[in-house]
Structures are given as structure tokens and as C-alpha cells.
Amino acid sequence: MMLDIPEEVLASAKIPRAQLESELRRRLAAALYTEAVIGGAAACKLAGLGKAEFQHWLGEHGIAQPIKGSDYQIERDNLEEWIKNA
């Protein structure tokens, strides 16, 4: 699938031209992932990043990651363990 973005839209983007494609891919992946349109693995593939890199990128951009209720307690336990050992 190809997405045709008008040149005037690309020209108005506040992203350096050399980084435009990768940045747009990451932003599209983030939007689709946070809206639960695609899963994490698909988002990483679209963004062209590994899981840790994608999660880091989301954090750098202040984008909250969706979390399932079943994963919430696991994440809390991991955080508490990390804090305790820090």
C-alpha cells in the first residue's frame, strides 16, 4: 500500500526532509498502536524499531502505551521490585 501525501503538506512539516519518512512511520505506528488499531509487534515493524526502541521512542514523545488489565499488575510488581532494588 502506498500513501500519497501532498507535497505542500510535506513541505509544511516541521521535520527535516532526511528524517521525514522514518518520523512519519513512527508517528503513524504510535497513533495506530495507542488507538488499539494494531498490536505492539505490528507497530514496531511499521516504525522500523525493535520493541525496546519503540517503547523508548513513545516515552520520549510523551505517548502513553496502552496496557491490558491483566498486564497492569505485572507491570506494577515489576516497578515495585525495580524501586526496591534501585
- For residues 52 and 55, give the distance between their C-alpha atoms in angstroms, rounded to a whole number: 5
Joined together, the cell numbers standing for residue 10 give: 510535506
Q: Which residue reads 495507542 in cell numbers? A: 34
Q: If pLDDT is split at 50, 70 and 90, which confidence band does 78 have?
A: confident
Q: What pTM did the predictor assign?
A: 0.74
**pLDDT, tens only, 16-59:** 999 999 999 999 999 999 998 999 999 999 999 999 999 999 99
Please tell me the distance from the alpha carbon of residue 13 to that of residue 22, in angstroms, as a whole number. Answer: 13
Identify whether the C-beta of residue 47 lies closer than 8 Å to the C-beta of residue 26: yes
Comparing C-alpha atoms, which of 86, 83, 31 is closest to residue 57? Answer: 31
Q: Domain map of the chain by residue range?
A: 7-85
